[in-house]
Amino acid sequence: MDIFPDVKKAIDQFPGPITFLVNPPPKWMTPAALFMTVVSLFVIFRAPYSVRHWHTIRVIMGIGTGIFGTIFFGDNAVLGLLAIFKPAASFLRLDESGFVVRNFLQTRVFSWDQVSSFKTDSTRGSRLVFTAGGQAGILPDRYGFSGRDLLQLMTLWQKRSLDRKGSTFAPSPPSGESLAR
């Protein structure tokens, strides 16, 4: 099996640890979300004064639209600002004992012994799906690797780790997208 060039660079750093940060969102996204948040706040405070006869339903709809927009765009603005000013808030870290996935507020740790399979899923982008302890987990393709490359990296890293430990656990071979280029 040929090892892809980006995967080869990462595998050469075994046993690690090696950390991959999430790629930041496009630079235009955060200012756009901030602008829409401000517009939504303006709608909230302007709605009661925009109706001449204070038709209750129009005021309520205007305020409701503004609140919805503020929550939706404000949430995206906060996530965008976090991604820009705190890029280490989301990462994937591989080492000899397992891997750590951090997504802003949640950190999950998996040992290589727990993970029974890796496969790619292309229904929503290219992401890696793994099974650990009977539960499925998902890794997005935002760590600088395509789903196919991440599949190969995780499979090879797990194999090297388990071979080094002399583990009798044999993970199932990767399924899903083919590794051949």
Judged against a pLDDT cut of 70, whether residue 40 lies above it is answered with yes
- pTM for this entry: 0.63
Q: How confident is the model at residue 53 (pLDDT cuts 50, 70, 90)?
A: low
Domain endpoint, select from 67, 85, 103: 85
Collapsed DSSP state (helix, strand, coil) of residue 16: coil
Supply the range of the domain harboring residue 132. 5-17+95-165
SS (H, E, C) 116-142: EEEEEECCCCCEEEEEECCEEEEECCC
Q: How many structural domains are present in the chain? A: 2
State whether 99 and 12 are in the same domain.
yes
The enclosing H or E element of 58 equals helix 56-85
Whole-number Å distance between alpha carbons of 159 and 63: 56
CATH number of the CATH domain containing 156? 2.30.29
Instruction: Please indicate, yes or no, if residue 68 is contained in any of the structural domains.
Output: yes
Cβ 44 vs Cβ 36: under 8 Å: no
Residue length of the chain: 181
Q: Tell whether 124 is covered by a domain.
A: yes
- 2-15 pLDDT, tens digit each: 777 778 888 888 88
